[in-house]
Structure 1
């Protein structure tokens, strides 16, 4: 387009020039070797223009004749190169489709048309062909050649990394990934692999430094990078907690700024403050994370924040957590556990039953069994709650790639990936589905308290009288609809293989009967 415009401009200028000369006629006289030559100005200008054009045409002809051998050679070389690139393209497509025969054929044809020094992709075609054919040693050699070439170094390192992973050579794979990450931090595969290797080996400082480089190169999104850095800071702080509580606290606070909902970071900050005897700030950190994410580990740490507290003080702390998150099942469980420790059995039973109605879990029914054991000691009622626990859903736990851990870990022990643990119910649990009203049904079917359990409870706590004697013979669970009975027959049963205790007070005519209750 530019050439057309330039040519049009020249023609226009030439036409304007001749038009200007035509409007201004004149004579031109020239004396040459005694001869007088006279002509008009227009004829002279036309002669000069024709002479210049003739010279240009002659020069072009001479130039074409002089450079024709090189032009012919370049034409055939370009044609050969085009054929080579066509074969290379066909071979790469065949290799991607898994056609090893066509890929090998196109590889040989490309070798004959294009030099490998001229086009490094020939090594890639040959390596892919070797991988399809199962010749991994040959493919590895090709990747090594590509790794030595600056143009294909990244491609060669990735090929070597994948081959090392296939062979299970983790150390070699780590070296290839780190070399690629040092050369090109913007490579996602190298960045992620190197970050995982450094995290698995506990090189938290190197991992954080690499993550900062990758964040500057926009390998990860900002939110993802902040979350990963918070996890790395928390992992580094946990290692420093015993020796350097202040450094651990700084790492935990920095992690909380990047990921405010990261519960392990808040727990780490609270533990660091506790080691520094700063209980006020520890409680503030735990309260802050509790308001956003009520977690049982947070409740457990908060309730036992001060080692010298009495059980009543711990109960007050648990009730304070419940006031911050009313309706939270974990808060109710914390109150029930603290009330059990404080011997407040009525409150413990009420909170545990309320939590079971909202979200039945295995631990809640186990807690009810503990309450029954401490309050009445009736093994029949304890076994009733244990049976409910067997059918109840499992409690949430730290789960990563199918692995269940009792504590949070920064790296998955299965895949080695960073930040894989989630607080959720484990997969693959075997339990009966919990239907609406099942907890109320469990309360209605709760066995009555045996007479010997009542006697034992009175002996253990003679000063506690919560009802008249006639009503105390049959304590009713909180929120239970079971009517009170005036007389309770003792329970002499036992396990299925236990014949029970012989009672001589039973009349002879009833001894032959099989009495279960």
Structure 2
């Protein structure tokens, strides 16, 4: 618009000047070498303008002829450069789509037309990477490092090649060099922070972050978050060895990022151990309200060591009120109620979650059945349901599921990579294994209780049986002595002994089959009634021996069965009995 206005003003001025000259024509006379030329002023001005234009045109043509070699050379160079840039562009596009043949052709054209261009080296390196020739790529990146304009690009390429080769030391050194040359480079700072975190040098990692922030290479919100992550990692590392320093780091991390779960949990544990319960509870409850997490619930429950289960339940109720609609609040409250043996409250809390239970909810129900009713069957049923139930969240970074938080990813090394979410394609999580251990402990307690009851019952039955046996022994008379001992006593008292042969067969035993030798029957002692006066004679002999009269009944006469060398009743009656055989029978008793 402004240009149009200026053009109109110039045209108006020119028209005004022409009109002014036309109104004042005047005369001009030129005399030169006998020539006299007379004309008006407008005509003279027009002639001068034409002559000036012709002269200017002739000068341009002459200068063009003089400069034509240089112009031709510049045109050739420009044309060559344009073809080279076209080859570079074509090669980069081919790299993007993975067309190796097109990349090689474009690299060849670019190297011929633009041999010293940085992008030509980059195209050469990328073509070598596609062809699987790392040595060619490294040579191209080193050539770029030698050029100050492409130094950082070459360092990045060498860093990536070193990481691919697994040379962490070389990758770390290259990243350090790049970060020193340009502190605002994100990839260099991240690589140095990753390496220092892997070595446990969290203070050095914070120094790199501070330098990056000083050079305005990162925004303030991202700086605060990363600094809190590094402080939390350092506090967790020092929690056991230097609790005082760890507490300061954890509190500072919470101040920078109040919702960072690891920082809040570490600060809560350390402050609780130091006796600052109110401050610790405030930190844990603030973080739990934003990010409900089971670790925060554990810290809140055991904030003061040695508390009873009911005291832990009260604190968990307060914590659950900060996030009443969250699933984690109900799970934490149910677990605390089970520990406090408030089984009815645990069932009421878990009941809304049973429509679509997760694995942890199923295991809590299994623990509840085992603890409340000692029902191992239902506990096993809920445990089996946990296998097919929905998964619970876990710490996950770049597809790696971990049972604990870490400042950097174990795969990519990215800072603050772990997030608390449900991992895809995982059948179980570390926190589920912890809950399963609680169920095993509950079932083991039930079994131990049952075994103790069974043992107590057996002991009671054994004691009762012993008591009854003792009563029966006290009530019964003294048991009769054995037959051989009674016979010996009878012989010693002078009682006659009658030998009776045992019957050859007993009705209860089946007859022996024919053709077999009869089995020798054991001699059976038979006790006969004593003759009259035997007891009195025995008592008389007892008085003669000086023994008091015991009032026992008359001793029975014991008849012994025949010994193997006894001929029996069928022997010759006239045969004199061998006194030695009698003595043998008596000694056989």
Task: Tell me if TM exceeds 0.5.
Answer: yes
Q: 1:54 to 1:246 in 2, by over 3 A?
A: same
Q: 1:17 to 1:328 in 2, by over 3 A?
A: closer
Q: How far is 1:47 from its partner? A: 4.2
**Which residue number corresponds to residue 65 of structure 1?**
65
Give the conservation status (yes or no) of the 8 Å contact 2:333–2:349: no
Say which SS state the counterpart of residue 407 (structure 1) adopts.
coil
1:101 and 1:274 map into 2 onto residues whose CA distance is 66
Give the conservation status (yes or no) of the 8 Å contact 1:411–1:420: yes
**Which residue number corresponds to residue 507 of structure 1?**
none
Map 1:321-332 to 2 at 5 A. 321-322=319-320, 324-326=322-324
Q: How far is 1:231 from its partner? A: 1.9
**Which residue number corresponds to residue 385 of structure 2?**
391
**Which residue number corresponds to residue 162 of structure 1?**
160
1:34 and 1:403 map into 2 onto residues whose CA distance is 107
Q: How far is 1:146 from its partner? A: 1.3
Map 1:35-434 to 2 at 5 A. 39-114=39-114, 116-117=115-116, 119-185=117-183, 187-211=185-209, 226-241=224-239, 248-322=246-320, 324-326=322-324, 345=341, 347=342, 349-359=343-353, 360=357, 361=360, 363-365=363-365, 367-368=367-368, 371-372=371-372, 381-382=375-376, 384-392=378-386, 393=389, 396-401=393-398, 403-424=400-421, 427-429=425-427
Q: How far is 1:145 from its partner? A: 0.7
Say which SS state the counterpart of residue 408 (structure 2) adopts.
coil
Give the conservation status (yes or no) of the 8 Å contact 2:27–2:38: yes
Structure 1 unaligned spans of 5+: 432-445, 460-489, 492-500, 505-517
1:331 and 1:305 map into 2 onto residues whose CA distance is 17
Say which SS state the counterpart of residue 148 (structure 2) adopts.
coil
2:303 and 2:238 map into 1 onto residues whose CA distance is 20
Q: 1:192 to 1:32 in 2, by over 3 A?
A: same
Give the conservation status (yes or no) of the 8 Å contact 1:233–1:255: yes
1:5 and 1:64 map into 2 onto residues whose CA distance is 36
Instruction: Give the aligned CA root-mean-square deviation in angstroms.
Output: 4.6
Q: How far is 1:123 from its partner? A: 1.6
Q: 1:56 to 1:309 in 2, by over 3 A?
A: same
1:294 and 1:88 map into 2 onto residues whose CA distance is 53
Say which SS state the counterpart of residue 282 (structure 1) adopts.
helix
Give the conservation status (yes or no) of the 8 Å contact 1:245–1:275: no
Q: How far is 1:263 from its partner? A: 1.8
Give the conservation status (yes or no) of the 8 Å contact 2:258–2:286: no
1:151 and 1:49 map into 2 onto residues whose CA distance is 52
**Which residue number corresponds to residue 480 of structure 1?**
none
Q: How far is 1:131 from its partner? A: 2.7
Map 1:461-476 to 2 at 5 A. none
Structure of larger gyration radius? 2
Q: 1:301 to 1:36 in 2, by over 3 A?
A: closer
Aligned length: 434
Q: 1:240 to 1:137 in 2, by over 3 A?
A: same
Give the conservation status (yes or no) of the 8 Å contact 1:363–1:389: yes
1:69 and 1:220 map into 2 onto residues whose CA distance is 53
Give the conservation status (yes or no) of the 8 Å contact 1:226–1:259: yes
Give the conservation status (yes or no) of the 8 Å contact 2:202–2:230: yes
**Which residue number corresponds to residue 483 of structure 1?**
none
2:102 and 2:411 map into 1 onto residues whose CA distance is 40
1:251 and 1:297 map into 2 onto residues whose CA distance is 19
Deviations 1:104-126 (A, max 9, x none): 34433444333x23x22222232
Quick check: 40-49 or 30-39, which moved more?
Answer: 30-39
Q: 1:197 to 1:109 in 2, by over 3 A?
A: same
1:311 and 1:276 map into 2 onto residues whose CA distance is 21
Q: 1:44 to 1:413 in 2, by over 3 A?
A: closer
2:60 and 2:400 map into 1 onto residues whose CA distance is 80
**Which residue number corresponds to residue 473 of structure 1?**
none
TM-score, L = length of structure 1: 0.67
